[in-house]
C-alpha cells in the first residue's frame, strides 16, 4: 500500500505539471505559420484584398464587421461563413447576421479559391478572414497590427448562439459592457473596437425606430443632431420597399479609417443608438474624448484590442479542421 502511494504521488505531480505547461491554443499560433507550407500565402491574400477593395469599395467595412461577428460567437473560427442546411440553421442566418454585407464573404471565398490552387488543404478560412480584415483596415488608412496564424476552422455553427451573444445597437450600455467583460475585454478596449464604425455602413431598417415616429413628442431620437436626423429620414425614406438601403456609419470621412467617428459623437452624429450612448455614459465618454483628440492613441488602442480579439476562442489541432470550402464543413 505504501509503495502504491509512493508511485501515485509522482504520477499526479507529473500530470499537473504537464497541464500547466501545455500551451494555450493562441500560444500555438505564429506569424510565420505558412512560411514553409504555403510560401505565397501573404502575397495571395494581399492581391485578393487589394483587387476586391478596388472593385467594391465597401469591402473593408464588410470584412471588418464579418470578422467581429465571427470572433464574438464560438471564437475566431470562421463559423459565420457556414451555410445553413435542412438540418442546421447556421450563424449567418441568425436575424442579427442577415444584414452582413456580401462583399465580406466574397473576399474570403476569392482568397480561398486562389490559395487552394497554390497550396491545397493548407490554409484555414479563419486565417484568411483574419488577415484579409487586417489588410483591408490598413488599406483604408488604419493601423497595421500583427495577425498570428495557425487557426483551424470550427466544427459548429448555430444561429441561436449568434442571436444570444452578439451585441445589438438597442442594448443598454450596461449590457454591452457586461458582454465584452464576459469575454475578457475592458471598457476602454470595447470603446476602441467600436471605432471600427469609422468605416462601413448601417442598413436603414436597423435605425428606423430611431428616426421615424420615435415617440409622441418627437419624430426622431433627440440624441441625434436634428439636421442629421432629417438627413437620415430622407436617405432612408424608401427602406420598406428597398431593404438594402443603407447609410454610412461615419458621415464625414466614410472611406477613411480615422478618428472622425469619435469626433462625430459629441455632435449627435452617431448612426446607431449604441454609438450615441458612448458619449452619454460616464464610463465610456473619457475614451471617446481621448480618441477624438488623439488619433495615434486610437490607432494604438484599436491595434492592441483587435489583435487580442483575433486570438479569442481560436481552434487548433483536433479542435478544428481545414475546410475545403469555407461555407461547409468537410
Catalytic status, residue 25: no
Beta pairing partners, 202: 247
- In whole angstroms, give the CA distance from residue 89 to residue 150: 27
Per-residue H/E/C for the chain: CHHHHHHHHHHHHHHHHHHHHCCCCHHHCECCCCCCCCCCHHHHHHHHHHHHHHHCCCHHHHHHHHHHHHHCCCCCCCHHHCCCECCECCHHHCHHHCCCCHHHHHHHHHHHHHHHHHCCCCCCHHHHHHHHHHHHHHHCCCCCCCCCECCEECCCCCHHHHHHHCCCCCCCHHHHHHHHHHCCCCHHHHHHHHHHHHCCEEEHHHCHHHHCCCECCECCCCCCCHHHHHHHHHHCCCCCCCCCCEEECCCCCCCCCCCHHHHHHHHCCCCCHHHHHHCCCCCCHHHHHHHHHCHHHHHHHHHHHHHHHCCCCCECHHHCECCCECCECC
Rounded to a whole number, what is the distance in angstroms from the first to the last CA of the chain?
A: 51
Catalytic residue, chosen from 25, 35, 69, 197, is 69
Q: Which residues, 6 or more positions from 30, have their beta carbon under 8 angstroms from its beta carbon?
A: 148, 149, 150
**Residues identified as active-site:** 69
Amino acid at each position: 500500500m505504501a509503495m502504491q502511494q509512493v508511485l501515485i504521488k509522482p504520477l499526479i505531480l507529473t500530470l499537473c505539471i504537464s497541464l500547466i505547461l501545455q500551451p494555450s491554443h493562441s500560444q500555438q499560433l505564429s506569424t510565420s505559420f505558412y512560411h514553409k507550407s504555403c510560401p505565397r500565402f501573404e502575397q495571395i491574400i494581399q492581391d485578393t484584398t487589394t483587387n476586391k477593395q478596388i472593385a467594391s469599395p465597401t469591402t473593408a467595412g464588410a470584412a471588418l464587421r464579418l470578422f467581429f461577428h465571427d470572433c464574438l460567437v464560438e471564437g475566431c473560427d470562421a463559423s459565420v461563413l457556414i451555410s445553413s442546411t435542412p438540418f442546421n440553421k447556421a450563424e449567418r442566418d441568425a436575424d442579427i447576421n442577415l444584414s452582413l454585407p456580401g462583399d465580406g464573404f466574397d473576399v474570403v471565398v476569392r482568397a480561398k479559391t486562389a490559395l487552394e490552387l497554390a497550396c491545397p488543404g493548407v490554409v484555414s478560412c479563419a486565417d484568411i478572414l483574419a488577415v484579409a480584415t487586417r489588410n483591408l483596415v490598413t488599406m483604408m488608412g488604419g493601423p497595421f497590427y500583427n495577425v498570428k496564424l495557425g487557426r483551424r476552422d470550427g466544427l459548429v455553427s448555430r444561429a441561436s448562439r449568434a442571436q444570444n451573444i452578439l451585441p445589438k445597437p438597442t442594448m443598454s450600455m450596461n449590457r454591452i459592457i457586461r458582454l465584452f467583460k464576459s469575454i475578457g475585454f475592458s471598457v476602454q478596449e470595447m470603446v476602441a473596437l467600436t471605432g471600427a464604425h469609422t468605416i462601413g455602413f448601417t442598413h436603414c431598417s436597423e435605425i428606423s425606430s430611431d428616426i421615424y415616429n420615435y415617440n409622441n413628442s418627437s419624430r426622431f431620437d433627440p440624441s441625434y443632431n436634428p439636421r442629421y436626423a432629417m438627413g437620415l429620414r430622407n436617405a432612408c425614406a424608401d427602406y420598406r420597399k428597398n431593404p438594402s438601403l443603407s447609410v454610412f456609419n461615419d458621415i464625414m470621412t466614410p472611406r477613411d479609417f480615422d478618428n472622425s467617428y469619435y469626433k462625430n459623437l459629441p455632435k449627435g452624429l452617431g448612426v446607431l443608438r449604441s454609438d450615441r450612448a458612448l458619449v452619454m455614459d460616464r464610463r465610456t465618454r473619457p475614451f471617446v474624448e481621448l480618441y477624438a483628440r488623439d488619433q495615434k492613441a486610437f490607432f494604438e488602442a484599436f491595434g492592441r484590442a483587435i489583435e487580442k480579439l483575433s486570438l479569442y476562442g481560436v481552434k487548433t489541432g483536433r479542435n478544428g479542421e481545414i475546410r475545403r470550402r469555407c461555407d461547409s464543413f468537410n
